[in-house]
Structure 1
Amino acid sequence: MDILTIILLIIGFVLLIKGADMFVDGASDLATKLKIPAMIIGLTIVAFGTSAPEAAVSVTSALNHSNAIAISNIVGSNIFNLLVVVGITAIIYKIDIDDVSLKQDFPVLLISSILLLLFIVTSSQISRIEGIIFLIGIIAYVALLIVKSKKESKNMPVGTTHLSNIMIVLFIIVGLAFILIGSDLVVDASKDIALSLGMSETLVGLTIVSIGTSLPELMTSVTAAYNKNTGIAIGNAVGSCIFNILFIVGLTTTITPIATTNVMVIDTIIMILALIITYILAYDKKDFNRKDGIILVSLFIVYMIYIIIRN
């Protein structure tokens, strides 16, 4: 471990924090300017933007014909989003969940997750046809959100924004760039530090790298929660999970079919259980409170212990 690695780690965290702040400010003002609910902005622009690291890893693997990592990357990221991103966000500030999200977005994620599990267990690979089915799913889902936003925008009052149109675009682009560069620096520096402390490459890949690709979602949702933009916070977490399965797995398997393994089955089942637990916690109260957040984060710690023992 050298001083340069530590400096790069600090720079990475600074870029993550500043980038998330700019990204949320830009997205929030965009929602106000367009009279679109913050939840929809979170489910689309913010969710798709913060999923860029997962997309880059999976698509690059597919192009190199070594894309078995795509599923573990996506499933691990979704487990992190559901348990840690939602959990830590709820610990910081209570997240109110509207009926539409409970009746539409969570079910879409559950159906997508179950479909992924079925594709894994019923064949030795996830085929191109199945990948295309996922891509059709994400197109239909985004189209549904666009139609929904047009209907809701008619009834929304015009709010006040703090940024001009040009600054909104700059804040979103620069903020996302800072998030992606920062997360890359943090992952690389953390890997070097962990390896120098004696951790195996396999364990580093399953923990630091999988968590690292989800840092954009975590920092964006935490920043949104701190600024009381809970619609963006929960929309980012749920939207990223949907995007990960329907678009990233869809695109990756359309490029090259993915061979399935027993480990994929186990991890996908764990992902579905994490989703069901998250949904149950929100359903009755229509929110995630601090107690729920602690439960979710605790479950992730248990999952990490299981991963370490398994490997």
Structure 2
Amino acid sequence: MSYIAFLAGLCFLLVGAEMLVRGASRLAARLGVSPLVIGLTVVAFGTSSPELAVSIKAAFADQAGIAMGNVVGSNIFNILFILGLSAMVTPLLVAQQLIRFDIPLMVALSAALLLLVLDGQLSRLDGFLLAAGLVAYLAFLLYQNARSRAQAAAGSDSLPSDSNAWGINLLLVAAGLVLLVLGSRWLVEGAVAFASFLGVSEQVIGLTIIAAGTSLPEVVTSLIAALRGERDIAVGNVVGSNVFNILGVLGLSSLLAPSGLMVTPAMISFDIPVMLAVAVACLPICFTGGIINRWEGALLLGYYVAYTLYLILATAQHDALAGFTGVMMYFVLPLTALTLAVLSLQEQKRRSGRAR
């Protein structure tokens, strides 16, 4: 029954997220919201709705390991796996707005989250601050939309305004929300049963199985966007989802939890710093020519494999853990940092020469 509940919950989450994104994006378009704002809000936030549903359910059930692990694991998965796989399919074009604002914001929020949890918890006050940050971020995007409202309104005028279309889209949103609630409940219950059966902590289950499962909408969206040539959407979807995961998912989860979310020492000393390092790595990768090349995608994907392998070895307390950690810390990571630094300097020199 645990297997059935887990799979049924995952299916409900995917279908519910698809219905929510489709209905909400059509409603936003009819209200005159620009495609850019729709991509950074409705699409990105909609594909993160499984994370929101699962984390809030886990927070109410006093399962902070799943709530925190789900978000941190999803953010790592989004960048390393989704961007890596999408870039290997086709090189990804990164919009200048993402480089100038949204990616630095993602890095800043990851650092802020690390500071907030140093006391061992994400309190209700912390949750309020994060939720307020989400409101400010939405206000900024709406301000951007207002600057191009004439063009957006011109596009929306061509859409039919019959009441049936509005009703269908509202029904899609409502049905999507119902499926998300049911799916999150079954997925969390199945995951907890897995953790108990395998002797694995809820935090590791959240960082791996649940994080990958709730990120499937982002996988599908980014891959389809890459294959269709809409490569900036593939990147924007990931960045927007990560911003929403920190501000919206963790903010609301810790705000609604009876006593906030407790954060384990392993999460503070390893997993959240990994999430921050992955976000920082996006800056030089996206900065170099505004393109994520195939070899950079392979690098990201390889790091996700290494991260997952580390979690497995650490959970099993395998003898190979010390050697694996040493190779990563003293060879692979320094070599990667040096390579990205050299590429960033070359890009800076190229831009300076072009400016002259």
Measured against the shorter chain, the TM-score band is 0.7 to 0.9
Match of 1:235 in 2: 236
Query: Which letter does structure 2 place at the counterpart of 1:83?
Result: L
- Contact kept in structure 2, 1:75 and 1:268, CA below 8 Å: yes
Match of 1:124 in 2: 120
Matches within 5 A, 1:253-292: 253-254=254-255, 255=257, 256-265=259-268, 266-292=270-296
**Residues 85/166 of structure 1: CA separation in 2 closer, same or farther (3 Å cut):** farther
Question: Residue 133 in 1 paired to residue 129 in 2?
Answer: yes
Query: Which letter does structure 2 place at the counterpart of 1:299?
Result: Y
1:150-201 CA-to-partner distances (Å, cap 9, x unmatched) read: 2134356749889x77777677777898899999999999999x99xx9655
Query: Which letter does structure 2 place at the counterpart of 1:284?
Result: T
- Contact kept in structure 2, 1:28 and 1:229, CA below 8 Å: no
Question: Residue 56 in 1 paired to residue 60 in 2?
Answer: no
1:109 Cα offset (Å): 1.2
Query: Which letter does structure 2 place at the counterpart of 1:246?
Result: L
Question: Which segments of 5 or more consecutive residues in structure 2 lack a partner in the other structure?
Answer: 316-356
SS at match of 1:228: coil
With 77-86 and 34-43 compared, the bigger mean Cα shift is at 34-43
2:112, 2:297 → 1: CA distance?
27
Match of 1:73 in 2: 70
2:49, 2:198 → 1: CA distance?
27
With 27-36 and 62-71 compared, the bigger mean Cα shift is at 27-36
2:223, 2:31 → 1: CA distance?
24
Question: Residue 208 in 1 paired to residue 209 in 2?
Answer: yes
1:188-224 CA-to-partner distances (Å, cap 9, x unmatched) read: 99999x99xx965546554222211111111122122
Query: Which letter does structure 2 place at the counterpart of 1:258?
Result: L
Match of 2:141 in 1: 145
**Residues 259/213 of structure 1: CA separation in 2 closer, same or farther (3 Å cut):** same
SS at match of 1:285: coil
Q: How many residues align?
A: 304
Query: Which letter does structure 1 place at the counterpart of 2:56?
Result: V
Query: Which letter does structure 2 place at the counterpart of 1:75?
Result: V
1:39, 1:170 → 2: CA distance?
24
Question: Residue 308 in 1 paired to residue 287 in 2?
Answer: no
- State the TM-score, normalizing by the size of structure 2: 0.69
Matches within 5 A, 1:151-162: 151-155=147-151, 158=155
**Residues 88/35 of structure 1: CA separation in 2 closer, same or farther (3 Å cut):** farther
